[in-house]
């Protein structure tokens, strides 16, 4: 999103001023996709379509370099509200409530509640990292929850220009929009669709990927908003957390995660396979003085060394959200296969 393009900047649209009942949490939809794919066009389309929501739009900018600063900008009736967020990646996980959420909550305190938040990431953003900002545990009592991740792809150039990010963007998407279909032939469109599908297949993500084709990002709003992709009110979705002191084997941790996310070989006591949609943690490797952050969204995960130095004792913290999770089984498996020197536990 080019912030200098003023006319391009979506506005907060108060649709209906009658104060609604103090309903529960506010959904956030993350809109991701490569540069110029049509994200802002989609935002503008949503804002101008008929809906009964008071929508806040957040433009999420990633600075270059290490000091990951993102701007939060919401314009209301022409007045631009801007707040700089400090979202050092290493801290998102261990803090109970991260800065990103807090800033939005502060914003809501000042500006009144929104019914819905749309967040456009820059074309280069790693959507997994952005999503993790809204990765909210029910116990944290946040006002905000992640409703879904929508990835917009440029039918003409989207898959050719870039490999890595679109792949990740597709991989975390709950909905993939192939936009600018006016610029391609039937055959080219089919090729793009096949590529998107195969990206999911390579990642062994089940065939649930939803793909829609658009021109000018024109979609049926019901296909984009209120997807409840990560709905923890759905009783079958559970959160499991545990803390374990000691150092981990990096290889064994990778094997554990891959068994869990990809192979899905762990089952609960009823024999149903555990399925994880969010995975997060701070872990300790013996040869590293710094804390290592684990982040997973659907089947993708990564381990990144943070700036944060360990203090003793080193406590690994892990959080899993998904279906059919069983804490005892997960923890026991983790301790027996990943933890070095089980006497530490």
Q: Is 53 in the site for Zn ion (CB under 5 A)?
A: no
Task: Indicate the residue among 92 and 177 with the shorter CB distance to ligand GTP.
Answer: 177
- Provide, rounded to whole angstroms, the least separation between the CB of residue 156 and Zn ion: 17
**Could you tell which of ligand GTP, Zn ion, none binds residue 182, using a CB distance below 5 to 8 A set by kind?**
ligand GTP
Pick the piece of the chain touching ligand GTP (CB under 6 A) from 179-187, 222-230, 236-244, 292-300.
179-187
Please tell me whether the peptide bond between 343 and the residue prior to it is cis, using omega within 30 degrees of 0.
no
- Provide, rounded to whole angstroms, the least separation between the CB of residue 255 and ligand GTP: 37
Q: Is 36 exposed, middle or buried (0-12, 13-18, 19+ CB in 10 A)?
A: middle
Task: Measure CA of the first residue to CA of the last residue in the chain; give whole Å.
Answer: 48
Query: Which residue do the tokens 């762990």 mark?
Result: 266
| Position among 1, 58, 159, 205 found at the interface with Zn ion (CB under 5 A) | 1
- Provide, rounded to whole angstroms, the least separation between the CB of residue 181 and ligand GTP: 7
Sort strands 175-179 and 210-213 into parallel, antiparallel or unpaired.
Answer: parallel
| Position among 27, 90, 123, 128 found at the interface with ligand GTP (CB under 6 A) | 123
Q: Residue 114: which region, alpha, beta or left (left: phi > 0; alpha: psi -120 to 50)?
A: beta
Q: Is 180 in the site for ligand GTP (CB under 6 A)?
A: yes
Per-residue x/- marks for Zn ion, 31-50, CB under 5 A? --------xx----------
| Position among 88, 111, 197, 216 found at the interface with ligand GTP (CB under 6 A) | 216
Using DSSP's 3-state secondary structure scheme, residue 106 falls into helix
Residues 316-335 that bind ligand GTP (CB under 6 A): none
Task: Indicate the residue among 142 and 214 with the shorter CB distance to Zn ion.
Answer: 214
**Residue count at the site for Zn ion (CB under 5 A)?**
3
Rounded distance, CA 285 to CA 304, Å? 11
Task: Indicate the residue among 64 and 270 with the shorter CB distance to ligand GTP.
Answer: 64
Q: Is 33 in the site for ligand GTP (CB under 6 A)?
A: yes
Task: Indicate the residue among 147 and 154 with the shorter CB distance to ligand GTP.
Answer: 154
Task: Indicate the residue among 37 and 74 with the shorter CB distance to ligand GTP.
Answer: 37
- Provide, rounded to whole angstroms, the least separation between the CB of residue 158 and ligand GTP: 10
Residues 6+ apart with CB under 8 A from 296: 128, 257, 261, 276, 278, 279, 280, 302
**What is the DSSP track for 143-200?**
SEEEEEEEEEEETTTTTTS-SHHHHHHHHT-SEEEEE-GGGS-HHHHHHHHHHHHHHH
- Ordered strands of the 300-309 beta sheet: 237-245, 315-323, 275-283, 290-297, 300-309
- Provide, rounded to whole angstroms, the least separation between the CB of residue 238 and ligand GTP: 35
- Provide, rounded to whole angstroms, the least separation between the CB of residue 51 and Zn ion: 20
Rounded distance, CA 68 to CA 180, Å? 31
Query: In whole angstroms, how far apart are CA 131 and each of 88, 91, 103, 174, 193?
Result: 14, 15, 15, 12, 24
Task: Indicate the residue among 10 and 128 with the shorter CB distance to ligand GTP.
Answer: 10
Task: Indicate the residue among 39 and 54 with the shorter CB distance to ligand GTP.
Answer: 39
- Provide, rounded to whole angstroms, the least separation between the CB of residue 7 and ligand GTP: 11
User: What does the binding site for ligand GTP look like in residue numbers (CB under 6 A)?
Assistant: 1-2, 33, 35-41, 123, 179-180, 182-183, 215-217
In the complex, the residues that contact Zn ion under the rule CB under 5 A are: 1, 39-40
């Amino acid at each position: 999103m080019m912030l200098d393009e003023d006319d391009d900047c979506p506005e907060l649209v108060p649709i209906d001023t009658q104060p609604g009942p103090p309903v529960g949490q506010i959904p956030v939809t993350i809109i991701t996709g490569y540069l110029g794919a049509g994200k802002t066009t989609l935002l503008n389309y949503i804002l101008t379509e008929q809906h009964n929501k008071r929508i806040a739009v957040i433009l999420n900018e990633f600075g270059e370099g290490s000091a990951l600063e993102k701007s939060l900008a919401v314009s209301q009736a022409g007045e631009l509200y801007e707040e700089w967020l400090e979202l050092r990646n290493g801290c998102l996980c261990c803090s109970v409530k991260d800065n990103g959420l807090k800033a939005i909550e502060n914003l809501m305190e000042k500006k009144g509640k929104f019914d819905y938040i749309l967040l456009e990431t820059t074309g280069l953003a790693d959507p997994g990292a952005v999503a993790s900002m809204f990765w909210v545990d029910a116990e944290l009592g946040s006002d905000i929850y992640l409703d879904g991740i929508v990835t917009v792809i440029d039918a003409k150039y989207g898959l050719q220009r870039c490999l890595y990010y679109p792949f990740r963007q597709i991989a975390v998407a709950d909905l993939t929009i192939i936009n600018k279909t006016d610029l391609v032939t039937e055959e080219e469109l089919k090729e793009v669709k096949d590529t998107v599908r195969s990206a999911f297949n390579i990642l062994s993500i089940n065939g649930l990927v939803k793909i829609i084709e658009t021109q000018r990002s024109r979609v049926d709003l019901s296909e984009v908003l209120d997807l409840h992709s990560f709905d923890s009110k759905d009783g079958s979705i559970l959160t499991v957390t545990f803390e374990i002191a000691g150092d981990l084997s990096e290889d064994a941790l990778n094997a554990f995660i891959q068994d869990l996310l990809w192979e899905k070989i762990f089952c609960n006591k009823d024999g149903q396979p555990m399925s994880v949609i969010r995975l997060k943690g701070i872990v300790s490797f013996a040869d590293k003085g710094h804390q290592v952050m684990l982040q997973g969204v659907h089947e993708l995960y990564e381990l990144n060394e943070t700036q944060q130095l360990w203090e003793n004792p080193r406590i690994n913290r892990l959080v899993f959200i998904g279906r059919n999770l069983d804490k005892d089984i997960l923890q026991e498996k983790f301790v027996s296969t990943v933890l070095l020197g089980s006497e530490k536990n």
